[in-house]
Structure 1
Amino acid sequence: MVCALAATCCYGTASVLQAIGARSVASGPGSGVDPVLPLRALRRGPYAAGLVLDCAGFALQIVALRTIPLYAVGAALAAGLAVTAVVAAWLLKARLTLAEWSAVGAVCAGLAMIALASGAEGNRAGPAALRWYLLGAAVAVLLVGALAGRIPDGPRALLLGLGAGAGFGVVAVAVRLIDSPALPRLFGNPALYALLLGGAAGFTLLTSAFQRGSVIVATAGMILAESAGPAVVGVLWLGDRPHAGLEWVAVAGFAAAVTGALALSRFGDTGTEPGRQPDQGGGPP
């Protein structure tokens, strides 16, 4: 759980840094998702720093996913929105109201309940077909996300965030389904390709959401999809269970964490960085 919370701090801070970097890059042609936007944004220092934090967070998340249930990791990641809100208030000068701080408190209380109730991770391998379903889900995320990128800016950030969360959820489940690092067996496991495709799709969609939408709204959508999907898979097919008698504590904690995260998306909008306008490219990073 400590690793999951540390990963959350990395991801939450990275979201704001990547939003700053993405908004300083000119949009590509058309209104859809720009697949090369992350590569162009890498020229910006804040975006590159966010990517480094993402890598550190992913390493910590792998440790957590191999140790505690998927629903516990998902709930911990929900706290990323609280981290994003606090960092956005500092770097993007976004003001948090009392209602928003209350939502942050709900997320933290929910995490404490889940930590109290969580048992060890399940030991089931899941059905063999689950790995192929996961790969299909990763492809679907990429296709649906491309379509969502063409809708108006209002709901665009939320829908792209949901798509990104679904992609990262695929990654979380795939980590549990990769049961051997031996190369011949590893390359024959569809979960490996689901992990790579889901991660690439999620990263591209989230960067596009950050460029023209609210950081908090996009992150809320991501957290909702990233938390709920893997939690259901873990309980139904991988044997994740809370401690006996504390099931209600886990359910209540998960609900509080996700509800608090979603409540944050309803209040305030970080908008764009004050005093900054996207440049037209070609200038110094």
Structure 2
Amino acid sequence: MICALGAAVCFGTASVLQAVAARAAEPGTGSGVDPALLLRALRQWRYLAGLALDGMGFVLQIVALRSIPIYAVGAALAASLAVTAVVAARLLGVRLSGREWGAVAMVCAGLAMLGLASGAEGTRTGSDALRYAMLGTAVAVLGLGVAAGRLPDRVRAAALGLGAGVGFGVVEVAVRLIDDVAPVALLTNPATYALLIGGGAAFLLLTSALQRGSVTTATAGMVIGETIGPALVGIAWLGDRTRPGLAWLAAVGFAVAVSGALALTRFGEPPAPPAPTEPAEPAEPLPR
């Protein structure tokens, strides 16, 4: 759980840096999957710093996924929005209202309940059918990104965010489906390709969502996509369970943490640039 929370800190801080960098990049074609936009964003030092934090967070996420159930890791990662809110308030001068501080407290309370109720990760390794299903889902995320480029701005932001969340959710499940890290086993395991394609597609869609449309809407879709689906897969197919008699506490904690995160989705949005000031009119010359 400590590793999952550490990943949330890394991802939450990275999102503030990446959102500002993505908005500073020149707009591209308007396609949902726009690799050129990612290349332009990579010229921004803030985006590179965010990627470094994402890398650290991914390592911590893998450790967490190999130790505790997916539903606990997913809720902790959703809590990265609470980290984003606090970092935005600290670094960008964004004020949190009393309601938003209450949402941060909800996230913390929900995670505390999950920490008390979570058991060990499930012992099932998953079937080949599940591995191929994850690979198919990862490819579908890429297709969703291409199709999103033809949608109106508001619907596009929601589609991109949901697609990014599903892609990150594929990564969460795929980590659990890789039970042998020998080179030959990795190359023959469909979950390896699901992880690479799902993670890459999610980054492309998220970068486009941060640059276009309502990032608040996109972030809400991402939170839903990366928490609910993977949690259900972990329970139904990988054997994730709670401590005896505490299933109700885990369910309440999950709902409270995700609800608090959704209340903080506006912090996926970078601050609006200040309005340009009109030049002052020259003063009339004084009479001689």
Same fold per TM (> 0.5)? yes
How far did residue 87 of structure 1 move? Answer: 1.9
Which residue of the partner structure matches residue 193 of structure 1?
A: 193
**1:256 and 1:56 mapped to 2: Cα distance?**
27
**2:190 and 2:109 mapped to 1: Cα distance?**
37
Judged with a 3 Å threshold, the aligned counterparts in structure 2 of structure 1 residues 216 and 53 are, in CA distance, closer, same or farther, namely: farther
Which residue of the partner structure matches residue 285 of structure 2?
A: none
Which residue of the partner structure matches residue 145 of structure 2?
A: 145
**2:24 and 2:255 mapped to 1: Cα distance?**
36
**2:154 and 2:91 mapped to 1: Cα distance?**
23
Which residue of the partner structure matches residue 246 of structure 2?
A: 246
How many correspondences in the alignment? 276
After TM superposition, the structure 1 = structure 2 runs for residues 114-263 of structure 1, keeping only pairs within 5 Å, are 114-263=114-263
Judged with a 3 Å threshold, the aligned counterparts in structure 2 of structure 1 residues 73 and 26 are, in CA distance, closer, same or farther, namely: same
How far did residue 276 of structure 1 move? Answer: 8.6
3-state SS of 1:36 partner: helix
Give deviations 1:70-95, integer Å, cap 9, x for gaps.
01101111111111122223344433
AA at the equivalent of 2:261: A
Which residue of the partner structure matches residue 103 of structure 1?
A: 103
8 Å CA contact retained: 2:32, 2:145: no
How far did residue 222 of structure 1 move? Answer: 1.3
RMSD: 1.9
8 Å CA contact retained: 1:84, 1:216: no
AA at the equivalent of 1:246: L
1:45 correspondence with 2:21: no
Residue identity over aligned pairs, in percent, reads: 64
**2:132 and 2:242 mapped to 1: Cα distance?**
28
Judged with a 3 Å threshold, the aligned counterparts in structure 2 of structure 1 residues 268 and 167 are, in CA distance, closer, same or farther, namely: closer
How far did residue 269 of structure 1 move? Answer: 7.8
**2:222 and 2:90 mapped to 1: Cα distance?**
22
8 Å CA contact retained: 1:69, 1:120: yes
**1:107 and 1:160 mapped to 2: Cα distance?**
24
| TM-score, normalised via structure 1 length | 0.91
The 10-residue stretch of structure 1 (161-170 or 82-91) with the greater mean CA deviation from structure 2: 82-91
Structure 1, unpaired ranges of 5+: 278-285
AA at the equivalent of 2:97: T
Give deviations 1:87-135, integer Å, cap 9, x for gaps.
2233444332222221111111110000000000000112220000000
| TM-score, normalised via structure 2 length | 0.90
3-state SS of 1:191 partner: helix
Judged with a 3 Å threshold, the aligned counterparts in structure 2 of structure 1 residues 276 and 35 are, in CA distance, closer, same or farther, namely: farther
Give deviations 1:231-279, integer Å, cap 9, x for gaps.
10100000000001000000000011111112223x68845443399xx
AA at the equivalent of 2:159: L
**2:25 and 2:39 mapped to 1: Cα distance?**
10
**1:86 and 1:149 mapped to 2: Cα distance?**
32
After TM superposition, the structure 1 = structure 2 runs for residues 17-96 of structure 1, keeping only pairs within 5 Å, are 17-30=17-30, 32-96=32-96
Which residue of the partner structure matches residue 275 of structure 1?
A: 274
How far did residue 16 of structure 1 move? Answer: 0.9
8 Å CA contact retained: 2:32, 2:160: no
Give deviations 1:174-210, integer Å, cap 9, x for gaps.
0000010111111000000000000000000001111
Which residue of the partner structure matches residue 281 of structure 2?
A: none
8 Å CA contact retained: 2:31, 2:145: no
8 Å CA contact retained: 1:214, 1:269: no
Give deviations 1:21-78, integer Å, cap 9, x for gaps.
1111111124544222112111101000000000000000000000111011011111
**1:118 and 1:243 mapped to 2: Cα distance?**
6
AA at the equivalent of 2:44: R
**2:17 and 2:221 mapped to 1: Cα distance?**
18
Which residue of the partner structure matches residue 16 of structure 2?
A: 16
